[in-house]
Structure 1
Amino acid sequence: MSLIVAIFALVFITELISWIGKSVLLEFVYAIYLRIFYSSVVTRQRKLKSEILVAKKELLQTSAQDQFAKWAKLRRSVDKGLADLEKLNSELSSARTSFSLKFNTVLWFLTAGVQFFVGWWYRKSAVFYLPPGWFGPLTWWLSFPFAPTGSVSCGVWQMACRRVIKVGERVVKELASRAESEPVPSERKEKAE
């Protein structure tokens, strides 16, 4: 893959992740992670919640004065269930915190980290060369900081790609909002009549 396409793909993926949102991706991937690695804990948590709800319902229907032994047994059962549920919730909470830290680290390395590395690795390389005289004295800026004069450097190409993708995003959002607000042809005929 050529450098020009690789840099564009990296910038596009980074912008796509920012459009989707890191929190949305985190929730999606965490749900998959739970199903794979913590399915038994989640199943136990659901089962325990339903048992606690049933026991609480029965506890509320039992008179503490008339049926004290049954009420006390149900109360101990509910309390024990709540304590067990709290342990499971704390286990899942610590797993989520750990996963979130790892996910955000990996996501940063796959987006910004790779862009920094590519920019550093190819800092003296030309992404492509411009025809002589196109930009006059500004040609040196396009090769900034270390690329040969008359070429476009990795950093400038990354900035240009990011800008074009953001403009494209704005255009797509504007077209989508116009399409939503514009009536469909059948509605136009009804309004005309």
Structure 2
Amino acid sequence: MSLIFTIFALVFVTQLISWIGQSVLLEITYALYLRVFHSTTDARLRKLKTELLTTKSELLQTSAQDQFAKWAKLRRSVDKGLADLEKLNSEISSTKTAFSVKFNSVIWILTTGLQFFVGWWYRKSAVFYLPQGWFGPLGWWLAFPFAPTGSVSVGVWQMACKRVIKIGERVVKDLVGKHASTVP
């Protein structure tokens, strides 16, 4: 793939992640990760919650004065279930924290880090050349910092791509907003 399309794809993926939201992507991928790699823990958590809700509803229907032995047994069961649930939730919370750190690192590497690397690697390369005299004395700015004069540098091309994508985002949001407001 040519440099011009590679940079556009990197900027587009970065903006797409920004539109969706990194926290939303984290929640979706973590739920998938939990179901795939920690399915027993996830199943145990769902089972424990179901049992706890059932026992708690039975406890609420039992009179503490009339059926004290049954009520006390249910109360101990609910307390034990809550303790187990808290322990399981702390395990899942620590797993989520570790996953979050790894996920955010991967997202940073795939977006910002990769853009920095491409910008550094191709810092002296021209993304494309402009016809002579199109921008007059401002032509040097398009080649800033290290690209040959009369060309567009990687950094400038990244900024231009980001700007065009943001304008496209606004246009799509306006069109969707207008369409949504006209539909009854």
Q: Which has the larger radius of gyration?
A: 1
Q: TM-score, normalised to structure 2's length? A: 0.95
Match of 2:161 in 1: 161
Structure 2 CA distance for aligned equivalents of residues 66 and 174 of structure 1 = 65
- Is 1:177 the counterpart of 2:177 in the alignment? yes
Structure 1 CA distance for aligned equivalents of residues 165 and 48 of structure 2 = 49
Structure 1 CA distance for aligned equivalents of residues 27 and 55 of structure 2 = 32
Q: How does 1:49-128 map to 2 (within 5 A)?
A: 49-128=49-128
Q: Deviations over 1:99-139 (max 9, x none)?
A: 11111110010000000000001001111111111110001
Deviation at 1:57, TM superposition (A): 2.1
Match of 1:15 in 2: 15
Contiguous gaps of at least 5 residues in structure 2: none
Alignment CA distance shift 1:182-1:78 (3 Å): closer
Structure 2 CA distance for aligned equivalents of residues 84 and 183 of structure 1 = 50
Deviation at 1:68, TM superposition (A): 2.5
Structure 2 CA distance for aligned equivalents of residues 181 and 38 of structure 1 = 44
Contiguous gaps of at least 5 residues in structure 1: 185-193
Structure 1 CA distance for aligned equivalents of residues 51 and 179 of structure 2 = 50
Structure 2 CA distance for aligned equivalents of residues 180 and 69 of structure 1 = 60
Q: Percent identity?
A: 76
Q: Aligned pairs, how many?
A: 184
Structure 2 CA distance for aligned equivalents of residues 62 and 28 of structure 1 = 40
Structure 2 CA distance for aligned equivalents of residues 101 and 173 of structure 1 = 32
Q: TM-score, normalised to structure 1's length? A: 0.90
With 48-57 and 58-67 compared, the bigger mean Cα shift is at 58-67
Structure 1 CA distance for aligned equivalents of residues 111 and 181 of structure 2 = 35
Deviation at 1:6, TM superposition (A): 0.5
3-state SS in 2 of match to 1:144: coil
Match of 2:38 in 1: 38
With 48-57 and 121-130 compared, the bigger mean Cα shift is at 48-57
Q: Deviations over 1:133-152 (max 9, x none)?
A: 11100011000001111111
Alignment CA distance shift 1:53-1:181 (3 Å): closer
Structure 1 CA distance for aligned equivalents of residues 145 and 72 of structure 2 = 77
Q: Deviations over 1:142-169 (max 9, x none)?
A: 0000111111100000001111111111
User: Over aligned residue pairs, what C-alpha RMSD do you find?
Assistant: 1.4
Amino acid at match of 1:93: S
